[in-house]
A = this chain, B = another copy of it.
Amino acid sequence: MDDERYGWLSKFRSLRGLWRDVAQTIGSSLGVASRLDGDLPPNDAELLREEMRQCLQARGGEMSARGRAAHLGQAYLDLTATGRRNFLRLLAEDFDSDPNEVDQAMREVGAATDRPARLRAERRLKQSLESPRVRLLTQFTTLPDGVKFLVDLRAELVALAKTDPTLAGLADELRALLAGWFDVGFLELQRMTWRSPALLLEKIIAYEAVHAIQGWPDLKNRLDSDRRLYAFFHPRMPDEPLIFIEVALTRGLSDNIQRVLDEQAPVEDAGRADTAIFYSINNAQRGLDGISFGNFLIKKVVDDLSHEFPNLKTFATLSPVPGLRAWAERHGLIGELDSADDLQLTRLTARYLTEISPERGRVRDPVAHFHLSNGARLERINLRADTSARGQLLSAGVMVNYLYKLSDIEANHEAYSGLGRVAMASPIKALLKG
């Protein structure tokens, strides 16, 4: 089901054909992959190892190496789940850096007697630590959809690495590789509208996980003149949003998500809005987990909106409190939670959102942690704000506004990240003291 959500298998089925063409165009002598057993038993793994080796040696030139890479990618896509694990293990184990070379390079560093010699030795040491497997993966960039292939590959790899420590190093290196490519400086902010390609809008529908989109009319409503939807894209993955954020232009802070999403509600005059409410933010690529864009996205969008609507005074979220009930359960407060009156529920939520966990040195709620790290302030706690079954289940219907005030962001961030101090509006402060 997850696979389906990410279009993983279906996409790959068509990639397979595409890459077969690429491989055939470029190289003539390649043919191993098509004869592999889907589970990749040892003998077949041996064939694959040889092809990987040739790809790395760039036999026949760099262009041929890219042809071989297409071939290897195609082989990967044809494998079963078992076969893919074997493929990844092969890559991880047989194409890691060479311990003997590393040892030798470390000895040279140790033996260096002056600074220039030390620097030269360190450079060699660094090279010895660069694994061939990463060079192999880099070859995929020239293939059509090759970057998306690697992103999706990482999603699979990370899942497998949880139970298979031999894959951890490779997962780590792939993360570093992707983090370099997906540096926020290389991303493009695009506004999605009803004029955007259906191809992209279809993915927005599929990827929205915070407040599911019920279909095209629901999406159209979220793109109306009093709404905005922005996404980050990478130039080499132009058909795939990386992360996106949904905004409602309102008068005053929103305190109820159903009202925000109501398709029947009249369209507001955006020019007269004084507040921008960020009501949903979604990471769309599981393969980029742990590479963070959200902070930049919010600030770029604040900047963009400020220019388009000079009347906007307030930038804030309407955010879920996903961990509230689970936390109450863990701390034996669940009875208290379910029987709480409004004041008690507000106070309980405030406590949950602002207490620093001694083990992790941060607040417990992941959404709160994200916004507080970004320099936002806990502004208001709204009861009966999410009346959906899910909202009731996870957080007793409570939602929260986090406020992004440009002039305070730096100080808030420093206070939270450096000192563990949570920025919050004075009523909440008072409530916690009371």
Contact = CB atoms under 8 A, between A and B. Distances in A.
A413 B97 contact: no
B63 A296 contact: yes
A63 B299 contact: yes
22 contacts: A27-B410, A59-B410, A60-B375, A61-B373, A61-B409, A61-B414, A63-B299, A64-B410, A126-B126, A140-B185, A147-B185, A180-B180, A186-B235, A186-B236, A194-B198, A194-B199, A195-B198, A195-B199, A197-B198, A216-B216, A235-B235, A235-B236
A132 interface: no
Contact of A197 (B27, B129, B197, B296): B197
Given A129-B125, A142-B185, A169-B123, A375 B195 contact: no
Contacts of A186: 141, 181, 235-236
B63 A295 contact: yes
Nearest to A147: B185
Interface residues of A, number: 68
Contact of A61 (B60, B169, B410): B410
Interface in A178-211: 180-181, 183-186, 194-199, 201-202
A266 interface: no
Nearest to A139: B185
Contacts of A374: 61
Q: Shortest 7 CB-CB distances between A and B: which pairs?
A: A141-B185, A60-B410, A235-B235, A142-B185, A61-B413, A195-B197, A126-B129
A20 to B, nearest CB: 13
Contacts of A336: none
A44 interface: no
Nearest to A299: B63
Interface in A389-421: 407, 409-411, 413-414, 417
Contacts of A410: 27-29, 59-61, 64
A263 interface: no
A53 interface: no
B62 A295 contact: yes
Interface in A60-99: 60-64, 96-97, 99
Contacts of A409: 60-61, 63
Nearest to A177: B180
Interface of A is mostly: helix
Nearest to A105: B106
Nearest to A165: B116
A296 B198 contact: no
A193 to B, nearest CB: 8
A16 interface: no
Interface string A129-160: 10000000010111100110000000000000
- Residue among A64, A106, A109, A411 with max Cβ neighbours from chain B (10 Å): A106
Interface in A341-369: none
A122 B97 contact: yes
Contacts of A299: 63
A110 interface: yes
Contact of A185 (B122, B146, B183): B146
A235 to B, nearest CB: 4
Interface in A270-327: 295-296, 299, 303
Contacts of A59: 410, 414
A118 B129 CA distance: 12
Contacts of A184: 141-142
Nearest to A184: B142
Contacts of A303: 25
A294 to B, nearest CB: 11
Contacts of A126: 126, 129
Contact of A122 (B102, B110, B201, B375): B102
Contact of A141 (B183, B194, B413): B183
